[in-house]
Amino acid sequence: MINIVEWPLMAPALLVYSLGTLTPGPANLSIANLAMSQGRQAGFILAAGVITGSLCWGLMTALGVSPLLLSEPRFLIALKLLGAAYLFWLAYKTLKSLATPARPTTTPLSIDRKDYRYYWQGVSLHLTNPKAILTWLTVTSIGLSPHSPPLATLLLVALCALIGITIFSLYAFCFSTPAAQQILVRYHRAMTIFCAVFYSLVATGFLLSIG
């Protein structure tokens, strides 16, 4: 495998993906906020949805579907409009939560059908993020060459998936600790407003980038 996979190309690609995943964005912020307010299990469910959405873009990019989609300018415009609308909706929902006092979550969620709304929220968050597809295009353009075998493509996506699972899970774990939840209780209003403003700014950035 070492002779087949071009590690000098793949290593910097994995670094780019790691840095992009670690950098605070709508997905990271949503996982952190949900883990603090609803507990670790909710954070993990949302993280699973985010990584699912990321893998969808990753596989489509590796298979050459995403570049074909981006060759149509109207697709990227539609994606930016959809992403902006979804982020504005998240900002609205976040501000609505100001009416509910923050309390530490000490009991685990019981998994039922309604809890999976967090999973689909994570999937939607990543599938409507145009930066996600552009990040994957960067990763694959760095990590793969025109002569890369299918094994290299699958390995790159798999390794990025492991990195994403690790980072997003760490967000859910760290921000669901008692110390983090105490911070949420103390600064609930300020953090909620920050999240809503952040979502709105990213959405506005999507709209301004059109044209």
Distance in angstroms (rounded) separating the CA atoms of residues 6 and 147: 10
Q: Does residue 2 lie within any of the structural domains?
A: no
Q: Does residue 97 lie within any of the structural domains?
A: yes
Q: Does residue 61 lie within any of the structural domains?
A: yes
- Identify the domain containing residue 193 by its residue range: 7-18+25-102+110-208
pLDDT higher than 80, residue 108:
no
Q: Does residue 199 lie within any of the structural domains?
A: yes
CA atoms within 13 A on the CB side of 34: 29
- What does the pLDDT average to over 197-209? 89
pLDDT higher than 80, residue 75:
yes
Q: Does residue 83 lie within any of the structural domains?
A: yes
- What does the pLDDT average to over 57-71? 78
Tell whether pTM > 0.85. Answer: no
φ, ψ (nearest 5 deg) of residue 64: 85, 5
Distance in angstroms (rounded) separating the CA atoms of residues 70 and 47: 26
Q: Does residue 1 lie within any of the structural domains?
A: no
Q: What pLDDT shows up at residue 45?
A: 93
Percentage of the chain beyond pLDDT 70 is 89
Percentage of the chain beyond pLDDT 90 is 22
Q: Does residue 180 lie within any of the structural domains?
A: yes
- What does the pLDDT average to over 138-149? 81
Q: What pLDDT shows up at residue 200?
A: 92
Domain count, the chain: 1
- What does the pLDDT average to over 181-202? 85
